[in-house]
A and B are shown apart, each in its own frame.
Chain A
Amino acid sequence: QVQLVQSGADVKKPGASVKVSCKASGYPFSDHYLYWVRQAPGQGLECMGMIKPKTGSTAYSQKFQGRLTLTRDTSTNTLYMDLSSLTSDDTAVYYCARNTFSGFDFWGQGTLVTVSS
Chain B
Amino acid sequence: QSALTQPRSVSGSPGQSVTISCTGTSSDVGGYNLVSWYQQRPGKGPKLMIYDVTERPSGVPDHFSGSKSGNTASLTISGLQADDEADYYCSSYAGRDIYVFGTGTKVTVL
Contact = CB atoms under 8 A, between A and B. Distances in A.
Q: What is the interface of chain A mostly: helix, strand, loop, or mixed?
A: strand
Nearest to A107: B45
A103 B65 CA distance: 15
Interface of A: 33, 35, 37, 44-47, 49-50, 59-63, 95, 97, 99-105, 107-110
Interface residues of B, number: 26
Interface in B53-110: 55, 57, 89, 91, 93, 96-104
Given A44-B89, A45-B89, A61 B46 contact: no
Contacts of B38: 45, 104
Contacts of B103: 44
Contact of B34 (A44, A49, A102, A108): A102
A45 to B, nearest CB: 4
B38 to A, nearest CB: 7
13 contacts: A33-B97, A44-B3, A45-B89, A47-B100, A49-B98, A63-B1, A102-B55, A103-B34, A103-B52, A104-B48, A105-B48, A105-B57, A107-B45
